[in-house]
Structure 1
Amino acid sequence: MGRLTTHVLDTANGTPGAEIEITLFRHTSAGLIPITRSLTNQDGRTDSPLLEDSDMEPGKYQLQFNTAQYFIRQGIQLDDIPFLDDVVIRFGINDSDAHYHVPLLVSPYSFSTYRGS
């Protein structure tokens, strides 16, 4: 069966993004439905997949990473209204048997992502 995983890399400091809160949502006709909330470990990864097995359903999803709080804990001075407070990545799952890996590379002023393996 398939699974959804993620990890966070702090590109400003060259380290894993540890203790970043991540919320996974599913897009439905009724709006965004929260599925799970996780915290990254010291390696910048979640301890278990965000979705797996029978929970892996085709559809539209959204990952929300609370990055501003992470950078504040790192001692980085952010504006009162941070440029990147929460980073949101919207993506689709078509194959419920596949591994979808959605990494986040982030700094206080930029981010990127890709479909990893």
Structure 2
Amino acid sequence: MTSLSTHVLDAVAGVPAAGLALVLADSAGTAVATAATDGDGRARLAEDLPPGTYRLLFATGEWFTAAGREAFYPEVVVAFTVAPAGSGGPAHLHVPLLLSPFAYSTYRGS
């Protein structure tokens, strides 16, 4: 089984994106976990994810609105695959998000 975490940074302000709501959903669209980033912009979403395809939804529009800032993307969705055990996939997945009101970037972290 695989664990999952994220770290969201506000690239414009140069600070962690604290309090950003997250939803982890499976391939059927069923919510597996919900969370919000902590003061350091980090969140743990799952400890035991079985193999499959998942979507991590970041509620960026709500977060920017709460901060009184305009933004283009109401949400960011990152789809990713958890590999079966023994196939060489990592035991922990980390999905960072670098965020600005009009752009974002993500990658498979460590």
> Do the two structures share a fold, i.e. TM-score over 0.5?
yes
Aligned to 1:103: 96
**Which structure features the higher share of strand residues?**
2
- Mapping 1:78-117, distance limit 5 Å: 78=70, 82-96=71-85, 98-117=91-110
Structure 2 portions without partners, runs of 5+: none
Aligned to 1:2: 2
What is the DSSP-based 3-state SS (H/G/I as helix, E as strand, rest coil) of the residue aligned with 1:62? strand
Q: Return structure 1 stretches of 4+ with deviation > 3 angstroms.
A: none
Deviation at 1:73, TM superposition (A): 2.2
Aligned to 1:51: 46
Q: TM-score, normalised by structure 1?
A: 0.83
Kindly report the root-mean-square deviation, in angstroms, between the aligned alpha carbons of the 2 structures.
1.5
Deviation at 1:114, TM superposition (A): 0.4
Corresponding residue pairs, total: 106
How many angstroms apart in 2 are the aligned matches of 1:2 and 1:64?
18
How many angstroms apart in 2 are the aligned matches of 1:72 and 1:9?
16
Q: TM-score, normalised by structure 2?
A: 0.88
Aligned to 1:42: 39
Deviation at 1:32, TM superposition (A): 1.0
